[in-house]
Structure 1
Amino acid sequence: MKARPAVRRPVGLAVLVLSGLLAITACSGEPGAAGDPRPPARITVQVGADPEEAAVYRSLVSAYQEAGGGEVDLVTVARGDHLTRLSTAFTSGAAPDVFLINYREYAPFVQRGAVAPAGPLLEQQGLKTADYYEQPLKAFSYNGALQCMPQNISSLVVYWNRALFRQAGVTPPKAGWSWAEFVATARALTKGSVKGVGIDPSITRMAPFIWSSGGSIVDDDAAPTRTTLHEPGARGALQAVVDLIGTGATPSKEQLAAQDVDEQFMTGKLAMFLSSRVEVPALREQRGLDFDVAGLPVLGKPASVLHSDAYCVASSSKHQDAAADFIAYAVGQQGQTITALGGRTVPSLRSVATSSAFLSPSRPPASSQVFLDAIPQLRHTPVTPSWPEVEDVIGNQLQRAFLDGVPLDEVLAAIRAQADPLLRRR
């Protein structure tokens, strides 16, 4: 089975999302009165999830309903199709009451009035944001309000195969390892049909190394007007990745066309790859796979990039109170314990993140503390309506440098030419 491509959002999808949202007109929900004898409203919740993730969300919905919550129709969509389905649903007037979305992708929905700010709705449910990690709350705050409620605070980590490390006689990764140690490890693990490391050509994979080396992605994180990947700090980090690829320690273009890095890792063809916590449910299901996680290598100072999804309430929902009730449960103690046990999330609720539900070494990865250790170094990419399109441009151009051998400076010039006008668009 062919895996999803490295750049997981198809070219032009962001344009589809933006154009589809032009048809949206905001309307308020119909809150029920206290003590209303009518049965709870039935809501629809859409999430982007691979099969193993979908099972976790089904468990969450079942627990909510067993705890006395209202009826929930859960719609699970393949991650690569999630935004397209959302856009189509909003355009057709059949938007879900609640949808789960990454912070890098929600701003266009807010801009077009598709989101009812979650902050006030959840305050009515008694939710206290002070109990949650600040970083994802900040990423999901836009136009002066908390728009969506984050369920997780993942970061980019290195997944590594214990068996392949042992077979190659390579020392396991250590906290704070240098880029040079990372490259040496990848090369030592590259033997026969096994490659050392897989790195997708996306800005979410490159950002920590750019920041670690003192570089930046854009000129102003809060109000970007141009990309800065061509400047020395960022360019140096990107060149370091190009040089790593040149050693032969990463999968070829043909190998990636046949299998994505996560599938190569699961089938023993890849000793390490970079991703967020989202991979854990599928990796746990792979029989015989002995894996763990390690922190990112450091080019200068420690850095990592936020990976966080949040529940949003559609402004068109007629059942916003019921939607907020479900979200409060999903991100509360019980809900986050369920998703933590399922392996899907690094809980955004501090009390669950530091509990055995998440940290227990009896369930792989044994070193889940790595995700929490990265929190002080977490940064997020810009939150702006054009960012999904900018990501598409950067990802497709970096692919040319990483997989097609196009000179890096040519690629960086193309990024400036294509991405900068998108950032300046208002």
Structure 2
Amino acid sequence: MRRCIAGLLFFATAFALVAGGCARREDGPSQVTLTLACWEGPEGLASLTKLLDRYRAQNPHVRIEIQQVPGSQYYQRLQIQFAAGVAPDIMQMAYDRLPSFAHRNTLHPLDELIERDGFPVNEMFPQLLPALRYRGKFYGLPRGWTTFVLYYNRDMFREAGVPFPREGWTWDDFLTACKKVTKDLDGDGRPDRFGCDAPTQMDGIAFWIWQNGGRLFTPDMSRSLIDSPEAIEAVQFLADCQYKHGVFPTPEQAQDLGGGGEMFRSGRQAMFIQGRWACLNFRGATYPDGRLLDWDVAPLPMKKEKATVLFANCYVLRKDGPNLEEAWKLMKFLTGYEGQRHQARTGRDMPSFVRVAESPDFLDPAQPPDSDRVFLDVARYARPLEVDASTSTVSEMMMEEIAQIFTARKDVRKALSSLARRIDRVQQEAREREHGGQ
């Protein structure tokens, strides 16, 4: 009898322990699966996975499925997913793409969440904040961002007897340096080492126009100013660098030599204008003869005013997604202080928080460039592109027309006048659609 009672007590105790354990699990967070879309390549994906592993360790109830899509297909894939109602919970998105998705009411506005949880956007670089908003509302928080600077080859500048670029140097100084470092290395009568290269993207043209006192659009973006005297003069300066002075490679020459980044890396180009991510390509780079590439960064040249462009890659949330609160919690981790410190150590981006940017996580004296602070110093006059829901279409138009200038020697004034008319038509059609017009 005592054995029977003891047995019953044992099973009762065991049941209570199991039941208690189950109750405790039920009291904890429910299991949830989040989908995260990204365009990362192998190195970026490994870095993101490492960061997400830390998040999973802190939040074991969360399972994260990464949807990795190549950059060339990324936004088309997102559009299909939104149309089918199966968009990811959280997505990477370049800031200039953000308005087109927010305009379709597919992204979740973040202002209430930011205010409710006290997310410290006020501790970010203030120049960055306009890039995260559309029509006054926050839709994205930065994975990282960058200002554009001038990368330059110190060996070539020393060889040519040219002073290194510095704050306040001018377009004339830039052209003089380009002329002195451009050389015919093989004696065939044509240069095969160049000063710099012509821009092909919208952001690569914009800062030259800004430096000359111009703009791409009117403040309300109702009309293009790409055909203004300031814009024409800026683009003509670049076209002259290529065809009149011969210090930029032609598109054919650039293609033969691997393009701007590869030309700089291999010692065929003395200067290269790009964002922070280019550092990873040049650290440890060597010339064909095995010598280490000696390079640094400097502010862009100026004319009437100092200006550079900034670029931000963001995380955004699906509008009213089924896992909105958990997705927001993950977003805060990725874009908050821990995520920004992690991203800063990769060397690919500038961290969005001033405190992290000023720390050794970003300013690492053991890694080139020596003048790392330039990325931060030029932030005070950096600007995002003027963007709206039509920006992707406008950007493609601009690339087409600018290419005609630098490949077919199309007259700059005629090309920009044609481009302005095309852009204005696109903007007008967008306004008519928004207001119910046909």
TM-score range with shorter-chain normalisation? Answer: 0.7 to 0.9
What residue in structure 2 maps to residue 324 of structure 1? 328
The answer to whether residue 223 in structure 2 is matched with residue 226 in structure 1 is yes
Q: Is the 8 A contact 1:387 1:423 kept in 2?
A: no
Q: Is the 8 A contact 1:227 1:420 kept in 2?
A: yes
Q: Is the 8 A contact 1:40 1:322 kept in 2?
A: no
Q: Is the 8 A contact 1:56 1:344 kept in 2?
A: no
Match of 2:354 among 345, 350, 354: 350
The answer to whether residue 49 in structure 2 is matched with residue 58 in structure 1 is yes
87 and 290 in structure 1: CA distance in 2 versus 1, 3 angstrom threshold: farther
Which digits, 9 at most, give the CA deviation of each residue in 1:133-189, with x for residues without a partner? 222222222233211112334111111223333444433211121111111112222
Q: Is the 8 A contact 2:151 2:298 kept in 1?
A: yes
Which structure has the larger Rg?
2
276 and 414 in structure 1: CA distance in 2 versus 1, 3 angstrom threshold: same
1:366 positional shift: 2.3
AA aligned to 1:242 is A
What residue in structure 1 maps to residue 34 of structure 2? 43
Q: Is the 8 A contact 1:141 1:148 kept in 2?
A: yes
The answer to whether residue 164 in structure 2 is matched with residue 172 in structure 1 is yes
Larger RCO: Structure 1 or Structure 2 (Cα < 8 Å, ≥ 6 residues apart)?
1
Match of 1:254 among 252, 255, 260: 252
Q: Distance in 2 between matches of 1:131 and 1:275?
A: 26
Note the 1:15-34 alignment, pairs <5 A.
none
Q: Is the 8 A contact 1:157 1:295 kept in 2?
A: yes
77 and 368 in structure 1: CA distance in 2 versus 1, 3 angstrom threshold: farther
Secondary structure of residue in 2 paired with 1:336: helix
What residue in structure 2 maps to residue 422 of structure 1? 426
Q: Distance in 1 between matches of 2:209 and 2:385?
A: 12
298 and 166 in structure 1: CA distance in 2 versus 1, 3 angstrom threshold: same
Structure 2 residue runs of 5 or longer lacking an equivalent are 1-25, 186-191, 287-291, 432-438
Q: Between the two proteins, what is the percent identity of the paired residues? A: 28
AA aligned to 2:51 is L
Q: Is the 8 A contact 2:317 2:327 kept in 1?
A: yes
Secondary structure of residue in 1 paired with 2:419: helix
Secondary structure of residue in 2 paired with 1:280: helix
AA aligned to 1:347 is P
Note the 1:195-274 alignment, pairs <5 A.
195-220=194-219, 223-246=220-243, 247-258=245-256, 259-274=258-273
Q: Distance in 2 between matches of 1:198 and 1:160?
A: 12
Relative to structure 2, which stretch is displaced further, 275-284 or 376-385? 275-284
Note the 1:27-106 alignment, pairs <5 A.
37-68=28-59, 70-106=62-98
Q: Distance in 2 between matches of 1:110 and 1:200?
A: 29
Q: How many residues matched?
A: 390
84 and 291 in structure 1: CA distance in 2 versus 1, 3 angstrom threshold: farther
1:292 positional shift: 2.0
Secondary structure of residue in 1 paired with 2:155: helix
Secondary structure of residue in 2 paired with 1:75: strand
Q: Distance in 2 between matches of 1:232 and 1:112?
A: 35
What residue in structure 2 maps to residue 337 of structure 1? 341
Could you tell me the TM-score, scaled by structure 1's length? Answer: 0.85
Q: Is the 8 A contact 2:127 2:380 kept in 1?
A: no
Which digits, 9 at most, give the CA deviation of each residue in 1:75-131, with x for residues without a partner? 344433332232233233332211122221111101111101123234444412211
Q: Distance in 2 between matches of 1:135 and 1:308?
A: 11
Q: Distance in 1 between matches of 2:54 and 2:387?
A: 33
AA aligned to 1:96 is P
